[in-house]
Amino acid sequence: MRSAEVAIVGAGPIGLELAVAMKRARIDYLHFDAKQIGYTISWFAPQTKFFSSNERIAIAGVPLQTADQGKATREEYLGYLRAIVQQFDLRVNTYEPIVRIERDDEGFTLISKPAGNGRTVYRVNKLILATGGTDRPRRLNIPGEDLSHVDHYFRDPHTYFGKRLLIVGGKNSAVEAALRCHQAGAQVAMSYRRERLPERSIKYWLLPEINGLIQSGRIEGYFQSQPVEITPTHVTLARGGAVGGERFDVLADFVLLLIGYEQDNTLFKLAGLELHSDCGAPVFDEQTMETSVPGIYVAGTAVGGTQDKYTVFIENCHVHVERITSALTGTAPPAAPVPLAQPES
């Protein structure tokens, strides 16, 4: 049985920033992730650029530099995270999910399930959950959703060259996929349940282009519609955004369902945290990030639960690291950060 003062679960940007903070404060810690470091970012499509500027997503005081001084791509940011791990000699137990949390008067017992190694038991006094908020795609739960030509992740535009592609969704991920696939030679159509694209949910440099392509008919836009069935050759849409509306078919060789993502709050439930009923976000103290269970803290986008309108991003979570470190070391918590003039994410 391995023991430590603190365990961090989650090795995204904020989880890694927490690990650096623990080393700097000379706090003995263990670090786990069910997948690889930066896993959520790893399933972005190739060459996807961040909405936020580099300085806002840099961590641990290490500048994030890019070749063109522009916003970082998926590949550049993953390389940056790997460099952080190497620079600070961080040890992360990747591919080792925590499957059980038990609390007693002296702390916590964690049980993990590393691949091919049975189960491992750890003892810690404090626990930090930085598990993120976009663990799995939302589902439509309609016939045909699991067919082989249907995907919930946009992976590579080249896949759709010369093919008819229907994209379901109208926020930033759907718009970016539509534009990139159109530029790669796909015949793109979009189905969105509202009257128009939500301007505040789309990167400002993409909005004019997508609106122009839809208005010109080069990308077909089916607004106030939603899928009710997917077949190998077409998708049946219902008008008016209601399942009971008038139905019509759209031919499609491929279907991308880009309708958002949900948080997996299994660990929150295993730990017995009090959760908000609407989004499953944990209840926590704003000054210390401690949850309803003494000794368990939450950090990063995990604090937002399943977000509908995204308000919690990497850029406004750095302060979580300072608050938790202060709570663990008994120092004064940092002052509330000055609100960003223009949040970028």
Task: Report residue 106 as tokens.
Answer: 């002296």
Question: What does the pLDDT read at residue 309?
Answer: 78
- Residue pair 85/16 in contact (Cβ under 8 Å)? The answer is yes
Taking the C-alpha atoms of residue 295 and residue 297, their distance in angstroms, rounded to an integer, is 7
Question: What does the pLDDT read at residue 19?
Answer: 98
Tens place of pLDDT for every residue, the chain, 345 residues?
899 999 999 999 999 999 999 999 999 999 999 999 999 999 998 999 998 999 999 999 999 999 999 999 999 999 999 999 999 999 999 999 999 999 999 999 999 999 877 899 999 999 999 999 999 999 999 999 999 999 999 999 999 999 999 999 999 999 999 999 999 999 999 999 999 999 888 888 899 999 999 999 999 999 999 999 999 999 999 997 555 679 999 999 999 999 999 999 999 999 999 999 888 999 999 999 999 999 999 999 999 999 887 889 999 999 999 999 999 999 987 777 665 545 544
Question: What does the pLDDT read at residue 277?
Answer: 82
- Bridge partners for 124 per DSSP: 4, 108
Q: Which domains does the chain have, with CATH numbers?
A: 2-135+261-329 (3.50.50.60), 139-257 (3.50.50.60)
Estimate the crossing angle of helix 13-24 against helix 74-87, to 10 degrees.
Answer: 20
Q: How many helices (H) and strands (E) does the chain have?
A: 8, 16
Question: What does the pLDDT read at residue 311?
Answer: 87
Q: Is 126 helix (H, G, I), strand (E, B) or coil?
A: strand
Taking the C-alpha atoms of residue 310 and residue 316, their distance in angstroms, rounded to an integer, is 12
Question: Would you say the pTM of this structure is higher than 0.85?
Answer: yes
